Amino acid sequence: MPAASAISYSFSELGPTQLTGASPLADECALAIGYNGLNQAVMMVSPGDLEDFVLGFSLSNGLIDSPAELYDIRLSGAGEARRAEVEIASRAFWALKQQRRQLAGNSSCGLCGVEALEQALPELAALPGAPLPPPEHLHELRDRVAAAQLQAQASGAMHAALFVDAAGEVRLCREDIGRHNALDKLIGALARQRLQASTGFVVLTSRCSLELLHKAVRAGIPTLVSLSAPTALTVDWARRHRLNLIHLPHRSAPRVYSPAPLTEEALA
Residue type, 88: I
* CA 113 – CA 95 distance, rounded (Å): 19
* CA 221 – CA 190 distance, rounded (Å): 10
- 109 flagged as catalytic: yes
* CA 93 – CA 184 distance, rounded (Å): 20
> Which residue in 137, 204, 219 sits closest to 174, CA to CA?
204
Dmax over Cα atoms in the chain, in whole Å? 67
Catalytic residue selected from 109, 112, 173, 208: 109
Give φ, ψ of 246 to 5 degrees.
-125, 130
* CA 36 – CA 216 distance, rounded (Å): 26
* CA 48 – CA 3 distance, rounded (Å): 10
Active-site positions read 109
